[in-house]
Copies of this chain bind each other. A is one copy, B any other.
Amino acid sequence: MRLGSGAEFDLIRRFLATPAAAADGAPGVRVGPGDDCAVITGDGIALTVDMAVEDVHFRRSWLEPREIGYRAAAGALSDLAAMAARPVGILASLALGPGDEDELGPAVMEGVAAAASDAGAVLLGGDVTRSPGPLVLDIVAAGQAARPVLRSGARPGDELWVTGTLGGAAAAVAAWIDGREPEPAARTAFARPTPRIREALWLAEREVPTAMVDLSDGVAGDAGHIAAASDVRVVIHGPALPLGPGLAPGATANAGARSAAGGVTGAGSASSAASLEVLRLAAAGGEDYELCFSASPGSVAAVAAEFEVVFGVPLTRVGRVEPGSGAVVLDATGSAVELEGFQHWRAR
């Protein structure tokens, strides 16, 4: 790894030399930042990488620099949660535009370090470079996964569950794109997501999940990964999806008009268009960073009350696993909801 070859990156480099970040001696870390590589130990090491590009995954006007870093790191850490891996370290690569090296870059790294710290991980290194283009932040997360929970273990008859609530981050983005300020809780869902690491470890210790993913692209798409890897069909009951902040009826007054303007099909009356928009935000809006997992019938019910007391996070049964293939979201009438091409905001 490198840490930028120019003196202009000294401020950022400092993040990897502060006592809090100097990871030598942290659990699972044999060599911390400052050498050619970091070295970690463990029976099984889970590795993931997640790239965030300005004006594709976020806009600078939406987020504080610290939030840009926090959110990107939380996204990578959420992948560790999806494997029930215990976070060990983060490496962060940062491409900075002209003038971003003095304030923006260090603030972004502060956010990365905060997300790492909140997850029990340390900053292990990274790379910093100039760029003539948008801010690019690529986060590597490494964790210990002695018994990783894969996507491939779902069986017909299993129930499908999610942690937390869905669609809050997407509601914030929808508000920004409409020129509105999002509800504070929806904004937080986007700007400072909480990877469900402890929750995943807790569930995995009890051998509850048969398969698990985190929700980065929305439950419809991500449950499709479980369906594909497990060779099963996943049926999601749309009305059961736990709605996140910003998706209460009042907050989506514009949703019908917006979805119509966006060319969304199938909207009927204004109120059904609004409820369809809410369902789409919850099912396919993405960036929730909640867990979605399959479990044997009754196994979640046996622990759900304790889970909710321990973590203050709801567990919601949202569907079932059947023989077949693919994932589908059904509306209240049992019809499949059209979600294809929904994430139009990402194309801007």
- Which residues from chain A sit less than 8 Å from chain B, CB to CB? 1-2, 5, 30-31, 34-51, 53, 55-57, 79-80, 82-83, 85, 89, 91, 93-95, 124-127, 129-134, 136, 138, 140-143, 145, 148, 150-152, 213-214, 216-217, 221, 229, 286, 343, 346
Q: Which of B142, B213, B221 contacts A47 (CB 8 A)?
A: B142
Could you give 18 example pairs across A and B, Cβ below 8 Å? A1-B47, A5-B221, A5-B346, A31-B83, A36-B214, A37-B46, A37-B48, A37-B79, A37-B85, A37-B141, A47-B47, A47-B91, A49-B126, A51-B136, A53-B132, A131-B133, A131-B136, A138-B138
By the criterion CB–CB under 8 Å, are A45 and B40 in contact?
yes
Given known contacts A31-B83, A49-B126, what 14 new A-B pairs fall within 8 Å (CB)? A1-B79, A31-B150, A36-B48, A36-B214, A37-B46, A39-B47, A45-B45, A45-B142, A48-B91, A48-B125, A51-B127, A53-B131, A133-B134, A138-B138
Nearest residue, chain B, Cβ from A218: B5
Contact assessment for A47 and B145 in the assembled complex, using a CB-CB cutoff below 8 Å: no
Q: Known A133-B134, A136-B131; judge A47-B53 contact (CB<8 A).
A: no
Bound CA–CA A46/B140 (angstroms): 13
Q: Residues of B contacting A48 with CB < 8 Å?
A: 1, 36-38, 91, 125
Closest to A75 in B: B2
Find chain B residues with CB under 8 A from A36 CB: 48, 79-80, 82-83, 151, 213-214
Checking B40, B91, B95, B134 against A49 with a beta-carbon cut-off of 8 angstroms, the contacting residue is B91
Contact A124 B47 (CB under 8 A): yes
Please tell me if the beta carbons of B49 and A45 are within 8 angstroms of each other in the complex: no
Give chain B residues whose Cβ lies under 8 Å from the Cβ of A53: 95, 129-133, 136
Q: Which of A129, A134, A152, A217 has the most CB of B within 10 A?
A: A129
* A229 interface neighbour in B35, B47, B85, Cβ under 8 Å: B35
Docked complex Cα distance between A131 and B5 (Å):
24
- Please measure, in the bound complex, the distance between the C-alpha atom of A133 and the C-alpha atom of B133, giving whole angstroms: 5
Complex-state Cα separation, A214 to B36, whole angstroms: 8
Residue ID in chain B nearest A5 by CB atoms: B217
* Distance of A327 from chain B, by nearest CB (Å): 15
Minimum CB distance partner of A38 in chain B: B47
Residues of B within 8 A of A41 (CB): 43-45
Known contacts A5-B217, A132-B133; is-contact A47 B93 (Cβ 8 Å): no
Whether A125 pairs with B56 at a CB distance below 8 angstroms is no
Which residues does chain B contribute within 8 Å of A55, judged by CB atoms?
Answer: 132
Of the candidates B39, B57, B141, the one whose C-beta lies within 8 Å of that of A44 is: B39
Contacts of A124 in B (CB 8 A): 47
What residues of chain B lie closer than 8 Å to A142, measured between beta carbons? 45, 47
Of B2, B40, B56, B91, which is within 8 A of A130 by CB?
Answer: B56
Give A44 to B32 CA distance when docked, in angstroms. Answer: 12
| Complex contacts, A130 vs chain B, CB 8 Å | 53, 56
List residues of chain B with CB within 8 A of the CB of A30. Answer: 44, 148
**Cβ contacts under 8 Å, A45 to chain B:** 39-42, 45, 142
